[in-house]
Amino acid sequence: MGNKQTIFTQEQLDAYQDCTFFTRKEILRLFYRYRDLAPQLVPLDYTNKPAVTLPYELIGSMPELKDNPFRQRIAEVFSEHGDGNMTLDDFLDMFSVLSEMAPRDLKAYYAFKIYDFNNDDYICKSDLEKTVNKLTRNELTSEEVSLVCEKVIYEADVDNDGKLSLADFQHMIVRAPDFL
Partner 1 sequence: IFFPGFDAEEDLIGSLADMSTKERIKAIQKLPETMRKKREIRNKVLQEITKKSRHRGAQPSCCTQCLQGAAVSFRRFGNSLSEYFHQLRIWQKTLKIIGAEFGTSVLSYFVFLTWLLNFNIFSFLINFSFITIPQFLAAEPNNLSFTGLELLTGDGYFQQTVLYYGFYTNATISKIENGPSYNMQLAYIFTVGMYFVICFLILLFSMAKYFSRNFVNPQAVSVNSSKLLCTWDFNITNEKAVKLKQKNLSTQIKEGLTEVNKEVVNFSAMERVHRVAVHLLAWAASLGTAVAACAGVYFLAINNLKLFMKGHRNDLESRAAMLVLPMIASLLNTLIPFFFSWLGHLERFQSPGQHIYVTIIRIIILKMSIVGILCYYWLNIVATYESQCWETLVGQDIYRLVLVDFIFCLLGSFFGEFLRRIIGTTFCVSLGLPEFDIGRNVLDLIYAQTLTWIGILFSPLLPGIQMIAFFIVFFVKKVSLMRNCQPPRKVWRTTQMMTSFIFLLFCPSFLGVLSVIGVTVWRLKPSEGCGPFRGLSSMYAAVTEWIQILESYTASKWVVWIYHNLISSELFFFILSSIVLIVTYLYWQIIQGRKTMTKLLRKQIIN
Choices 29-37, 40-48, 57-65; region in contact with partner 1 by CB under 8 A:
57-65
In the complex, least distance from residue 148 CB atom to partner 1, rounded to whole angstroms: 6
Q: Is 4 in the site for partner 1 (CB under 8 A)?
A: no
Question: Can you tell me which of 68, 72, 124, 129 binds partner 1, judged by CB under 8 A?
Answer: 68
Rounded to whole angstroms, the Cα distance separating 55 from 42 reads 12
Closer Cβ to partner 1, 23 or 118, answer by number: 23
Q: Coil, strand or helix: which one is 95?
A: helix
Rounded to whole angstroms, the Cα distance separating 123 from 113 reads 9
Rounded to whole angstroms, the Cα distance separating 115 from 117 reads 6
Question: Can you tell me which of 41, 42, 98, 124 binds partner 1, judged by CB under 8 A?
Answer: 98
Rounded to whole angstroms, the Cα distance separating 123 from 111 reads 11
In the complex, least distance from residue 80 CB atom to partner 1, rounded to whole angstroms: 7
